[in-house]
Structure 1
Amino acid sequence: MKPLIGITCSFKPDGRGQTLTPAAYHDAVQRAGGAPILLPPLEADEDIAELLRRLDGLLLSGGPDINPVRYGEEKHEKTMLLAERREHFDLKMAAAAIAAGVPTLGVCLGAQEVNVACRGSLIQDIPSLCPGALVHAAPTSGGGETMHEVTIEQGSRLHRILGVTRLSVNSSHHQAARQPGQRLKVCARCDDGIVEALEGDDESFVLAIQWHPERIVDLPKQLDLFRALVDAARLRCRAAHARCGGG
């Protein structure tokens, strides 16, 4: 049985209240061997808890910015706020998944949600607050991606997944972790020192990456991130099945 991977969605609070997500996320999960399911931003805590109990893994997708009141700061002029309903759902899911040991992968906004859910803080706008930083949010040209290099901490979970200490990633974020949250550690940085990835400090699968691997999944090593999530979810699924008396 394929492990069930929940994927968070964007929410547009217009007249119809639309929920949507780029197909690249669920396509990547499928290619990695998982069964993707899109998660609507539920509001009741008991419904969020029930939904999480049915998942084998969680993929926190990209989007706008978390309200900085969540980490004790005032809003920067460049901060583009996430819909409150999605923010509530995503942060509840992230915190509960990490606490329950549900394998969790955060992408861009999702990485920031992992950090804030663990009581970390963010740089609200790299270009204006980090003089001398490289360009981390470059527009695509001709349908391509602007790339930059990151250095991966040797011996980290991310290093074990990818097998390299240098990787080309796409430049598509204007925020990043300032202070890593509780039980998180930095596992990749850009050459300018900006944090590009965090991971859990124990053996549970928690990985938060600032780039968008789903958009460059055909480049070297990028699909391996989704395979690692699916593999961790599969192990959890099998363990749960065994506890319930399955074969």
Structure 2
Amino acid sequence: MDAPLIGLTTYRQRAAWGVWDARADLLPTEYAASVEAAGGVPLLLPPVAAPGAATRVVARIDALVVSGGADVDPAAYGAEPHPETAAWQPDRDEWELSLLTAAAEVGLPVLGICRGMQLMAVHAGGTLDQHTPDLVGHAQHSPGGDAYGSIEVRTAEGSRLAGLVGATAEVSCHHHQSVATHPGFTAVARAEDGTLEAMEATGDRYCLAVQWHPETRLEIGLMAGLVAAAREHAAS
């Protein structure tokens, strides 16, 4: 079977490269590299406003990764912005929420990464804690700047996640927000301070989200699981 096509949602913001300084659609290379290393073909999915675009895209890919990025608009879950909540992008929120709706309708495999996990919770009717340091008393989950925090997570025995990464894992994280409520999903990993670090849907569909950044360490377990699910979806 041909390598499955894995859609990756992207940023849309100002960026500089070569002689250019302009708005761009972009994503760190680690995302595409991790998909390719796991046997998939990456396809970048910038925000699209056209009606029905998400349905058409989902019909042409074999799995979806909702990538990391800026804070989710608090209005999407009925909250006022915390002073530390900033730089949300309504066009990206709307696009990714539409992709998640279209994916659910056809049983498309989905992996959420960091912001992607938060958006998946919001899509399901859940809410976010807008500034995790307020709850845990430290900034280890996001040390600042372009640095990743390094934390240990413990997974739930018998979960899909545990089967992919093991009972414990040392992971890279960069988030100041976290999931508070997650209807329809089961909590399957937590940090030592109690922060929810992963959730998955019940049933056979690969619908899993992690608060950390597996692409930065080429954690093949998670992406290999997604690619395997994408092959099954394509075959069906």
**Would you call these one fold, judging by a TM-score over 0.5?**
yes
- Residue 198 of structure 1 corresponds to which residue in structure 2? 199
Deviation at 1:134, TM superposition (A): 6.3
Q: Size of the alignment, in residue pairs?
A: 230
| Cα distance in 1 for residues equivalent to 2:50 and 2:138 | 41
2:87 is matched with: 81
Does the 8 Å contact 2:73/2:89 carry over to 1? no
Q: Structure 1 36/155 Cα, relative in aligned 2: closer, same or farther at 3 Å? A: same
User: Is residue 236 from structure 1 mapped to residue 227 from structure 2 by the alignment?
Assistant: no
* One-letter amino acid of the counterpart of residue 117, structure 2: A
Aligned to 1:245: none
Are 1:18 and 2:24 an aligned pair? yes
Aligned to 1:135: 140
The whole-number CA distance in structure 1 between the counterparts of 2:106 and 2:223 is 20
Correspondences of 1:65-104 after superposition (within 5 Å): 65-104=71-110
Runs of 4+ aligned residues of structure 1 deviating over 6 Å after TM superposition are none
- Identical columns (%): 34
Question: For residues 99 and 110 of structure 2, what CA distance do their matches in structure 1 show?
Answer: 10
Residues 157 and 167, structure 2, Cα contact 8 Å, conserved in 1: yes
Structure 2 distance, partners of 1:213, 1:140, is 19
Q: Residue 49 of structure 1 corresponds to which residue in structure 2?
A: 55
| Alpha-carbon distance in structure 2 between the residues aligned to 1:189 and 1:131 | 13
SS of corresponding position for 2:52: helix
CA distance in 2, matches of 1:213, 1:100: 26
| Alpha-carbon offset, residue 202 of structure 1 | 1.6
Matched, 1:3 2:8: no
Q: Are 2:118 and 1:112 equivalent residues in the alignment?
A: yes
Q: Is the 8 A contact 1:112 1:176 kept in 2?
A: yes
Instruction: Report which stretch shifted further, 187-196 or 95-104.
Output: 95-104
Gaps of 5+ in 2: 16-20
Give 2:18's aligned residue: none
TM-score relative to the length of structure 2: 0.92
CA RMSD of aligned residues (A): 1.9
Query: Does the aligned pair in 2 maintain the 1:94–1:113 contact within 8 Å?
Result: no
CA distance in structure 2 between the aligned counterparts of 1:153 and 1:230, rounded to whole angstroms = 22
SS at match of 1:45: coil
Letter in 1 for 2:170: S
Q: Partners in 1 of 2:50 and 2:203 — Cα distance?
A: 30
